[in-house]
Structure 1
Amino acid sequence: MKRPSVYMLKGFAYYMDFVVYPLVVAGLSAAYLMKDFDGRPLRWLATVIVGAAVWTLVEYIIHRFILHHVMFIREMHDQHHRSPKELIDTPIWLSLSFMFAGVLLPSWWLFGFGPATGFTVGMTLGYLIYGLMHHAMHHWRIRHGTYLYRAKRRHAQHHASIDEGNYGVSSPVWDYVFGTELPDHGMESGKRRPWL
């Protein structure tokens, strides 16, 4: 019997986010509907939207201050910068621990079960969108003129620039707010970069 290669194991682990997190969203949504549904779904949906918006700030903070500055994690992230097509991702046990211990439990304690599930669903959807976008940026051909293409250009600048910036992958908002947006000289001059 042939043993699976390390690459296949890494690939399996890499793609687990795309299986596990939709199940987390479905499970938390079902738990809300069965345990805490109060007949006001718009209120719960508002907490989902708030969670997704907050995710964009969390994504920016993690990328800027942890992935680029915490030694062990920085080494893994540097490997991603050197080999962007390699299937390198945050280990699922770490991201799941964050979602439950860092998001669901504190928000449950502060706001109650219903709002906590909505907020966590929003954060999880934000993380899933980030993961899908980041994967697409490195592995798909993306049509010019789309939001995803512009996001891919911004992310390619992040990988190629000696200056640090463009930390937002799913949204550029926090790069604008905190002044870390990198100028796109290639777009200004009409030059195309080979990775786009």
Structure 2
Amino acid sequence: MAAPEADQFIRALHLARECIALGARLGTASQVTGLRSSMLRTYFFRHGGSINGRRPESSEWVHWGNLCLRAEASEFASIFSTLHEQYRCLPADALVIAYRMYAERCPRKPTVSFDRAFALVCDLLGIWLRKEARLAMHRCPQCRARYVAEIGAPPPRESGCVFCHLLQRYPLDARVQAHYVARRADLPPILARPDGAGPEKAA
């Protein structure tokens, strides 16, 4: 194996290890790295322990999921898009870095799994599982936050985007409060409003 090919293979293995450590199924790690699932199983799951079950093949959950799931999908997508667009990270690297940054904000198991984040990136860029993009980042005219929605989706109504809805529900919904109670320090930058108000002031 030539030196450049060896370097590329080592880098792919390292990337696969990162994906698996973040909860990726073998199929997802294989898509991201280009390495065969059988090879990854040999290297990382020789004695079992891989995540079983069918991975999500689309991002439809972005539309029908509960409020917290949709908000965190946009949170991850915003981090990923910033890394990919502004810092020119390759999609695979941006996926891993963005998911790690997102997961570090979660005191418990992340609401958005790595496989779901992968499907989201597929639909944002039209790569891996997709031949064309289906989703894009939009800017809410009310709170100015970036959120993910279908390409060409009209601006949200007066009630605003998913983050606006989260701000409105937070003081009134005990389930939403319980979901974010350990993340309160992260809420103001995520849910920034022009007047600087966050859930604490809204309450």
The alignment's TM-score, normalised by the length of structure 2, stands at: 0.34
The structure with the greater share of residues assigned to strand is 2
TM-score if structure 1 supplies the norm length?
0.34
Structure 1 or 2: larger helix share? 1
Whose RCO is larger (CA < 8 A, sep 6+)?
A: 1
